[in-house]
Amino acid sequence: MDLLIVEPLEPEVTEWLDARHSVLYAPELARDPRGFRQALYNVRSLIIPPSVALDSQALHYAPVLRAVGRVSAGAENIDLDACARAGVEVVRSLTATAQAEAEFMIGALLSMLRRVPVVGSDGMLVGRELGAATVGLVGMAPSARSMAQLLAGFGSKVIGYDPSVHASDGVWERWHVKPKGLRELLEESDAVCVQLSYFTRYHGLLGERFLPFCKPNQVIVSIAHSALFDEQALAEALASGRVAAAWLDSLEPGALDDGRPLSGMDTLQITPRVASTTRESRLRSAWAVVKRIDELLTLTPNAQREFKPTTPDVSLDLEAGPVSP
């Protein structure tokens, strides 16, 4: 079998695939881990939803697998190292969701700046305007480029930080973002947007070393993995009012349970990974993924497979245009 589709796709995308390859459409396998593994034996490629993990154990059941596609959300539960060892390319679109994520963060900032008032010079509680704010971007992901473009329309000052991008890199000038150190960014920003790609070395990066230096009444919106934040440090910043409000578009299970630092925080808002998911972004992402899988499947058996690197090595200056069939 050429392709097993476990994640629901738009009809025009599945029709395009059906005309080119042998395809099994089985979304019910997302709720049946054992059935999913058993279905992998003769499968050359997969498209799986965020709820389905692909680890080294599952790969043992897939001896002829050459590609796994992920249309929505990230690849946190796909074992990239195991896939590389098995010669399985992880196919994702890194730019298809950039505009959707940027619009989500803009909406979150507008909501928090108005919804969480501060004391004005006359003693009245007043909201704030995004155009008068300095906005710090943590992580120069593709969504940061879209954010910089949207924020320019408001008139906001935009500064940024990324531990993997040197201050002399030309991307800062091209994207019209002024590079800063992380502490300096937090000290200067009225609002912070976090879209830094997560690696274990960044675990708890936004913690007690930096959050106490946030500009008073700062608001934070994050579409990144919540493990970038230290729970205790974030709770303390929210409780003290130094961070007026935070909006996380994902949170690790159990983080709001009784006894955990973030439990009961009324200035913390959580959404279930909705930033990247729009009708338009899903269609762009689906076409990008299936076109690459189609390339891999149509290579002749004796041809050298041109496996591409996964997320960390992709150029920062990719355009976020749609891929047409």
DSSP letter assigned to residue 120: -
In the chain the domains, ranked by start, together with CATH numbers, are: 3-95+278-313 (3.40.50.720), 98-270 (3.40.50.720)
- H or E element at residue 270: strand 268-270
Q: Rounded to the nearest 10 degrees, how much is the dihedral formed by the CA atoms of 143, 149, 153, 155? A: 90
Give residues with Cβ within 8 angstroms of 255, minimum separation 6. 226, 231, 262
| CA 70/CA 79 separation, integer angstroms | 13
| CA 73/CA 76 separation, integer angstroms | 9
Query: What was the pLDDT predicted at 323?
Result: 42
Closest CA to 219 of 197, 237, 201, 198: 237
Amino acid in position 288: A
- 3-state secondary structure (DSSP) of residue 123: coil
| CA 135/CA 284 separation, integer angstroms | 28
Length of the chain: 325
Query: What was the pLDDT predicted at 120?
Result: 59
* Mean pLDDT, contiguous 10-residue spans, the chain (325 residues): 92 94 94 93 93 91 94 81 93 91 97 79 77 97 96 97 96 97 98 93 95 96 95 96 94 90 94 89 93 86 44 41 42
Closest CA to 45 of 305, 314, 323: 305
